[in-house]
Amino acid sequence: MELNEALGLVIKNLRNLKDLPQEGLGPSQSYISAIERGKWKPSIEKVEQIAEVVGIHPLTLLVLAYQRQTPGLKPDELLKKIQREIMSLKNGLSPE
């Protein structure tokens, strides 16, 4: 399964869980429908907007999508990996 398909399914499931119409997540019903079907890839800004509407952090939305894409992926293992990567890169990134 492609990541955009997995993300679309997660968005659809969260929208249904919150009992929201497609129009409630974005500029139009057709736009959200295309995302939910994996036909369009939302921008980072749209991922942030959708996450805000459903009441979660944008990274949670992405982690759920990666889990959907890779069913055996355990969230605690993924989060530990991300934490290790951030810590190893943090010192090399210049503060802005």
Q: pLDDT confidence of 33, banded at 50, 70, 90?
A: very high
In a domain, 96, yes or no: no
Domain tally for the chain? 1
pLDDT of 96 above 90: no
pTM (2 d.p.)? 0.86
Nearest partner of 66 among 78, 76, 55, 56, judged by Cα: 78
More confident residue, 88 or 33: 33
In a domain, 53, yes or no: yes
Question: How high does pLDDT run on average in the chain?
Answer: 91
**Residue 91 CB partners (closer than 8 Å, separation 6+):** none
In a domain, 24, yes or no: yes
In a domain, 17, yes or no: yes
Q: Would you state the structure tokens that stand for residue 19, as one six-digit string? A: 């009992």
- Residue 11, domain CATH: 1.10.260.40
Domain region containing 62: 3-90
